Every structure is written in C-alpha cells, then in structure tokens.
Amino acid sequence: MTDPKHARRPIRQLVKQLEFRSTFGRPCYLKRNTVHAALIVPMLRTGAEGPYSYVQTFQRGTIHEAIVLGYIALGPDLGEVPEFAVAATHWSASPDLWGRTISLRGGGQ
C-alpha cells in the first residue's frame, strides 16, 4: 500500500479509521445504500467481545476510489453486520441493508 498522504482527505480519513480500528482484532464493516457508505467499527472500550458502533459516512465514490488506488479491500460476500450503536433514524440502522467487511489492503485485518 502506498502512503495516502497525497490522497483526498476522505480517503485519508478512511485509511486512518481502518488503521486504528483494525488493531482491535475484529473486522470492520461497510453498509452501503445507493449514494453513501457507513463505516461500522469495533467500539474502543470493550476489547475482543465488545459492541460495534457507526463511526462515519462516506460517499460511495470515495470507497470505490480507495479500492482502485489500492488502499482498501472489501470482503467478497454480503452478510449481516453485528448490531451497532447508531441513531434509529440513520439509514444504516435498517436491518434490510447487509454489509461487507472492509480492511486495509495488504494487511490490517
């Protein structure tokens, strides 16, 4: 993976979140609708078995760009995302939307 310091800010934010959250030993997830992608990550406070939380929304195009540039990889299969803390009105709270794992390319998770 090349250094993301010259990438657009949203890509740098995504990479930074994944670098930090992937050290928890549990997968990070991405739930997408037609325009946006919600990053769902392990919570900081409870270690290996703790809950997940919504951390940030990105444009789908940002996720695609990060994949093309080689910074991240998505898991191959859509599946259920663990329960996570988010406002009930946020679109990612819908149980009908499945997600994929997301990780740094060449390591991370």
Residues contacting residue 60 through CB under 8 Å, at least 6 positions apart: 32, 34, 35, 36, 37
Decide if 109 is inside a domain: no
* Chain position carrying tokens 């329960």: 83
User: Which residue in 70, 7, 59, 55 sits closest to 33, CA to CA?
Assistant: 59
Write the pLDDT tens digit of every residue in 90-104: 999 998 899 999 999
Full-model pTM: 0.86
Q: Using CA atoms, how far apart are residues 51 and 75, in angstroms rounded to an integer?
A: 20
Write the pLDDT tens digit of every residue in 4-27: 778 899 999 999 999 988 777 889
Mean pLDDT of the chain: 87
Decide if 73 is inside a domain: yes
Write the pLDDT tens digit of every residue in 60-99: 999 999 999 999 999 999 999 998 988 889 999 998 899 9
Pull the structure tokens for residue 42: 């392990």
pLDDT at 66: 95
The residue segments making up the domain with residue 80 are 4-104
Number of domains in the chain: 1
Question: In terms of DSSP H, where are the helices of the chain?
Answer: 9-21, 60-68
Decide if 27 is inside a domain: yes
